[in-house]
Chains A and B, each alone.
Chain A
Amino acid sequence: MKPIRTLALATSVMALATAALADTKIGMITTLSGGGAGLGVDVRDGFMLAIDNAERDDIEVVIEDDQRKPDVAVQTSDRMIQSEKVDIMTGIIWSNLAMAVIPSAVAQGVFYLSPNAGPSALAGERCHENYFNVAWQNDNLHEAAGAYANDAGFENTFILAPNYPAGQDALTGFKRMYEGELADEIYTKLGQTDYAAELAQIRASGADSVFFFLPGGMGISFLKQYADSGVDLPVVGPAFSFDQGILQAVGEAALGVKNTSQWSKDLDNAANVAFVEAFQEEYGRLPSLYASQGYDTANLILSALEKADVSDKDAFRAALREADFDSVRGDFRFGNNHHPIQDIYVREVIKEGDVYTNKIVATGLEDHADAYASECKM
């Protein structure tokens, strides 16, 4: 035990030494092991690409794995704030982890910039001056899917999502915009991988279309089984089941499916073209939605650091609020609750050579703000 303790002491002394060198210290807690690691790896890679490109030697990034466990995330964030003295935190993917970490982090005076999770609870009454969301409020992509369902003339949609807060946010978001009838509304188990029962219900329901929010592996399973079931209705969903990381695992079953996203790799602006090219060159794969969010988060921090020192909290906060950076998604600004106001696009899954990817086919919602902004007194 003794040598280990000595070693730990030595590392923390070294950490302190480097902390003295860097002016700005960023703590990233994200999911880098287990089933959800693909998302965290993408956020980290996108983030580090922007930081490395900036070539600043006064920024230090500390990266830790949360194993997708709220308790691990809380412990890590306490350590980062109290002993490593980070100025800015970022990285969390999952809303339940975000709820466990963000309120206490911002209360301790640290800036938190979310590259993914946007739980409704933190967008409304419990918004905080030090909390910025650079991705979306959880409901946003689902709202765009609801708007798209109207445009596509769906009149009797079957909707399903897992039975947990983000799943309920999803169906709420969809219904907020969708004007047609609901053939049925189903909550599946979180982590469910077999959808035979739901598919039989869809077939029997007489629906004319399907909306689903099933992130990660759940979505892969659903789409493969959907294609195999003989049910042949149009499908729409948020980008989470159609991102670059999992499309290859779904394969042909996803072709032609419409999904909503604030970003796509074919968005034609200079920042995005440069990002897609640099990401491919650096990591040898196409960037995903999550990578774009990590990249934007880093660029937002860099843009604010140009204007203000992080130790001057008020000036730095004002600089963040200006969002004076070239977002890869095009126009981007913050609303009063520090959540994005942005366009959300409708994408279609296509095949380019051997690779499944997305292309934009329409704009779902323009300059869209979230529904909770008015509850935020800021």
Chain B
Amino acid sequence: MSLILIIEQILNGLQFGVMLFLMAAGLTLVFGVMGLINLAHGSLYMVGAFAAAAVAGATGSFVLALIASLAAAAAAGAIVELVVIRRLYARDHLDQVLATFALILIFSEGTRWLFGSFPLFLEVPRYLSGPVTLPGGIQYPLYRLAMIVIGLLIAAGLFWLIARTRIGIQIRAGECDREMIAALGVDISKLYTLVFALGAALAGLAGALVGAIQSVQVGMGEPVLILAFVVIVIGGIGSIKGALVGALLVGLTDTLGGVFLPRFFELFLAPASATSVGASLASMLIYILMAAVLLVRPLGLYGGRT
């Protein structure tokens, strides 16, 4: 196990974590500000990927495809908020889970109806394809580096938005006491729509970025959604900082665990059983991490509210 391989795997974990952050950021804002469990967040990720694939297929431009993914997911998010989600804020979590689960089914079958049953094609643009050589002789795909950079830029932008702008103040205030800021004259329902659309847009962008190196198909959002929930539970609900730290922790744990656990078991088990035991344990690792974090900090790493 060379140092180069270890560094490469850390980069992989970082990249995975950054993409998880884009998903988790929207989820944690919606959960934190509106108190809403949105299972359909994964569908917005899928909407972004399909919009990107459709636009890239029609125009051949990856930049346009990314813009389309942001726009389509934000629009889908805003419509869903206005039509469905708005009626759920006062309901309990079970109703929200049921309604948003119904949205998953509607989105999935609607997408299948529009685009057909077969996966769509979306590829990495020429100028980002292929590997680059990093200092130390590490070969790493340029596209994945670009994903890390884009993700970190968006994280920085979100921090700025939440901490330094008027909207950010309103979002934070809404999180603390929604009646009070409504009484102060802030249009709370418009704010909610905005936050929901923002979260949706980020999920859509993640879908498009990931779709270029994975498969764009119906149901692609649900596995990521589960991980995103793990991230916000670890990070603390409602905290953007928690979402970033949680996402990176989950990304690194998942990637490095999958690589090194089988190696570790090989030290004292036969290779065949080491592989399967290691692989099984690696897939449990993030949930073990979540349980450990919750034992020490029941509200998550940065969850301040009770």
Contact = CB atoms under 8 A, between A and B. Distances in A.
Interface of A: 32-35, 37-38, 41, 163, 185-189, 191, 193-194, 196-197, 200-201, 203-204, 216-218, 220-221, 224-225, 228-230, 245-246, 248-252
B189 interface: no
Interface residues of B, number: 48
Contacts of B223: 191, 193
A201 B279 CA distance: 14
Contacts of A225: 141, 213-214
Contact of A34 (B144, B219, B279): B219
A230 B220 contact: no
A300 B219 CA distance: 34
Given A193-B220, A245-B118, A201 B271 contact: no
A228 B214 CA distance: 11
Contact of B118 (A32, A194, A249, A251): A249
A220 B210 CA distance: 12
A330 B138 CA distance: 49
A188 B223 CA distance: 15
B106 to A, nearest CB: 12
B193 interface: no
B279 A189 contact: yes
Given A187-B275, A196-B16, A197-B255, A217 B119 contact: yes
A35 B131 contact: no
Contacts of A186: 262, 275, 279
Most chain A Cβ neighbours within 10 Å, of B16, B118, B218, B255: B118
Contacts of B258: 188-189, 197
Given A200-B8, A246-B119, A228 B275 contact: no
Nearest to A228: B141
B165 interface: no
B124 interface: yes
Contacts, number: 129
A41 B119 CA distance: 13
B214 A33 contact: no
Contact of A228 (B109, B130, B280): B130
B2 interface: yes
B139 interface: yes
Contacts of A204: 2, 4-5
A230 B133 CA distance: 10
Question: Which of A38, A41, A185, A224 counts the most chain B CB atoms within 10 A?
Answer: A224
Interface in B119-141: 119-121, 123-124, 129-131, 139, 141
A171 B221 CA distance: 29
Contacts of A228: 124, 129-131, 141, 143, 213
Most B C-beta atoms less than 10 A away, residue of A163, A218, A228: A228
A185 B16 CA distance: 23
B280 A163 contact: yes
Given A197-B259, A204-B5, A221 B280 contact: no
A200 B218 contact: no
Given A191-B223, A193-B214, A33 B118 contact: no
Nearest to B131: A230
Contacts of B255: 196-197
A41 B219 CA distance: 16
28 contacts: A34-B112, A37-B117, A38-B117, A186-B279, A188-B279, A189-B258, A193-B215, A193-B223, A196-B12, A200-B5, A200-B12, A204-B4, A217-B119, A220-B119, A221-B215, A225-B141, A225-B214, A228-B129, A228-B143, A228-B213, A230-B139, A246-B118, A248-B118, A248-B121, A249-B120, A249-B121, A249-B215, A251-B123
A230 to B, nearest CB: 3
Contacts of A200: 5, 8-9, 12, 259
Interface string B1-34: 0101100110010011000000000000000000
Contacts of B16: 194, 196
B214 A220 contact: yes
B271 A185 contact: yes
Nearest to A244: B118
Nearest to B138: A200
Given A37-B117, A38-B119, A217-B119, A189 B215 contact: no
A217 B217 contact: yes
A163 B213 contact: no
A66 to B, nearest CB: 14
A127 to B, nearest CB: 27
Highest count of chain B CB atoms <10 Å: which of A163, A200, A224, A248: A200
Q: Which 4 pairs show the lowest CB-CB distances between chains A and B?
A: A230-B131, A220-B215, A35-B219, A217-B215
